[in-house]
Amino acid sequence: MKGIYFDHAATTPTRPEVVEAMLPYYREKWGNPSSLHSSGREALEGMDTARQQVANLLGAYPEEIVFTGSGTEADNQALIGTAIAQQQKGDHIITSAIEHHAVLHTAQFLEKHGMKVTYLPVDSYGLVDPEDLRKAITDTTILVSIMHANNEIGTIQPIAEIASICREREVLFHTDAVQTVGHVPIDVREMNIDFLSLSAHKLYGPKGVGALFVRKGVRIAPLIHGGGHERGRRSSTENVPGIVGLGEACRLAELEIEAEMAHCSKLRDQLIKGVLAKVPDSLLTGHPEQRLPNNASFCARYIEGESMLLNLDFENIFASSGSACTSGSLEASHVLLAIGLAHDVAHGSLRLSVGRGNTIEEVDKFLEVFPPIVERLRAMSPISAGRPASDFEGGEDVHEHGHESEVV
Ligand code: PLP
């Protein structure tokens, strides 16, 4: 891809090593892993290696990894599969207001079918208060699902603390870790996690493959019924090349996670510092420190996110406004509204998410190109007419902690 790609939260390029690892499973080792002959066995061996590689990255056992068709499917599996498996115990699920739609819409689906769901609020940084969770748990609560890091604003939740409250109260805990697996260290045992969703294409693996970690001994009902694959937890002939690609992506991530975190956070910090200094009436969204190493997200007032994106695209710079799944719709992001931003401010959101291939020169180029784009758009915008640049302060949408000028 030509240009500057700052949209790694939407998807990442498939690493050449990953493609190389996958190719034999298209060309020679294309057997069905359920077949008993040697052609099936070599496909099964590829899958076994991948299962071990995914497990290693998470601190899990290989038999605790269930391969799925995506991160979305893993989230659906965790919520619906638990609602069915635990129906004798209760009918209450707790989640947060800022989850990805893969969790939120699944929770809403379950509500339509008789479950009760509590949506915990977040503060202006996007953090769930563990005390709110403690108060929300009742005798009928069967599952808590709180994402590890938010895909729009990058805030990382205090997952270990949240999970230990769940463990104390004997409630199962699921985390959507689609944005963190391979990018920040995770240990499912240390963190007391019962279910964890991940997606290959967010960590330099192929699209259309994910996994759900299911802690040993925890019951979950399958969503997809058939030949009993994945120990009866997800039927259908497995996507062997995709699974092998996911395994290789996890192996590489485990080796390189520290270096990638250092590289990305340097670029992220430079972007945050540069945008806040060079673009008047801009604010950082998400937590200044507890955030993904690759996420720099902002709102710029008196401007539409879509027009920023189109102008950046014209310069061959690729970014997002809110999440990729909601861009294209005129509704303000539920995440930005949940952290207390007013609709008009939320409409001016920009998410830059860097990756291992980005350079400091690309950041410099962005910081050269972006401020004049904002200036030009504001000059043309009816909503900015006659408003002084300092008008940002004192509005209903100013964050209670005033971190709009914070630099990470
Ligand atoms: N959860 C989060 C936090 C995400 O960011 C995404 C993708 O954007 C998903 C779930 C869905 O993953 P997939 O694209 O593999 O279905």
7-66 confidence digits (pLDDT tens): 999 999 999 999 999 999 999 999 999 999 999 999 999 999 999 999 999 999 999 999
Question: Rounded distance, CA 160 to CA 182, Å?
Answer: 18
pLDDT band with cut points at 50, 70 and 90 for residue 381 = confident
pLDDT at res. 396: 37
pLDDT at res. 343: 92
Does the beta carbon of 304 lie inside 6 Å of ligand 1? Answer: no
Q: Are 305 and 350 in contact (CB under 8 A)?
A: yes
pLDDT band with cut points at 50, 70 and 90 for residue 389 = very low
- Pick the closest to residue 155 from 260, 293, 282, 276 (CA basis): 293
Does the beta carbon of 178 lie inside 6 Å of ligand 1? Answer: yes
- Pick the closest to residue 108 from 130, 83, 88 (CA basis): 83
Averaged pLDDT, 68-90: 98
207 class by beta-carbon count within 10 Å (0-12 exposed, 13-18 middle, 19+ buried): middle
Tell me the per-residue pLDDT of 318-352, one tens digit each, with 9 for 90 and over: 999 964 444 455 678 999 999 999 999 999 999 99
Task: Report the nearest atom of ligand 1 relative to the CA of 323.
Answer: 8
Lowest mean pLDDT among 156-165, 327-336, 345-354, 379-388: 379-388
Tokens representing 53 are: 């590689």
pLDDT at res. 158: 98
pLDDT at res. 365: 98
Q: How far apart are the first and last CA of the chain?
A: 30
Averaged pLDDT, 236-252: 98
Does the beta carbon of 130 lie inside 6 Å of ligand 1? Answer: no
Q: Indicate if the pLDDT at residue 405 is higher than 90.
A: no
Averaged pLDDT, 365-381: 95
pLDDT at res. 394: 35
Does the beta carbon of 149 lie inside 6 Å of ligand 1? Answer: no
CA-based angle 324:375:302, to the nearest 5?
A: 60
- Percent of the chain predicted with pLDDT > 70: 91
pLDDT at res. 178: 98
| Residue 12, CB-side half-sphere exposure with 13 Å CA sphere | 29
Of 308 and 327, the one with more pLDDT: 308
pLDDT at res. 329: 56
Question: Rounded distance, CA 308 to CA 310, Å?
Answer: 6
Helix (H) or strand (E) holding 377: helix 360-380
pLDDT band with cut points at 50, 70 and 90 for residue 140 = very high
Q: Indicate if the pLDDT at residue 390 is higher than 80.
A: no
Tokens representing 192 are: 């007391």
Tokens representing 195 are: 């279910």
> Known catalytic residues?
325
pLDDT at res. 38: 95
pLDDT band with cut points at 50, 70 and 90 for residue 402 = very low
Q: Indicate if the pLDDT at residue 146 is higher than 70.
A: yes
Average pLDDT over the chain, rounded to an integer: 92
- Percent of the chain predicted with pLDDT > 90: 90
Q: Indicate if the pLDDT at residue 94 is higher than 60.
A: yes
Does the beta carbon of 199 lie inside 6 Å of ligand 1? Answer: yes
Question: Rounded distance, CA 72 to CA 55, Å?
Answer: 19
Global pTM value:
0.93
From 12, 73, 202, mutation site for ligand 1 pocket: most ligand atoms within 8 A of C-beta: 202
pLDDT at res. 331: 79
Tell me the per-residue pLDDT of 208-220, one tens digit each, with 9 for 90 and over: 999 999 999 999 9
pLDDT at res. 192: 98
Q: Are 47 and 33 in contact (CB under 8 A)?
A: yes
Of 324 and 242, the one with more pLDDT: 242
Tell me the per-residue pLDDT of 78-87, one tens digit each, with 9 for 90 and over: 999 999 999 9
Q: Whose CA is nearest to atom 12 of ligand 1?
A: 71
Of 297 and 399, the one with more pLDDT: 297
Measure 104 CA to ligand 1 centroid, in angstroms.
12
From 12, 72, 75, 180, mutation site for ligand 1 pocket: most ligand atoms within 8 A of C-beta: 72
Q: Indicate if the pLDDT at residue 401 is higher than 70.
A: no
Tokens representing 54 are: 């995914």
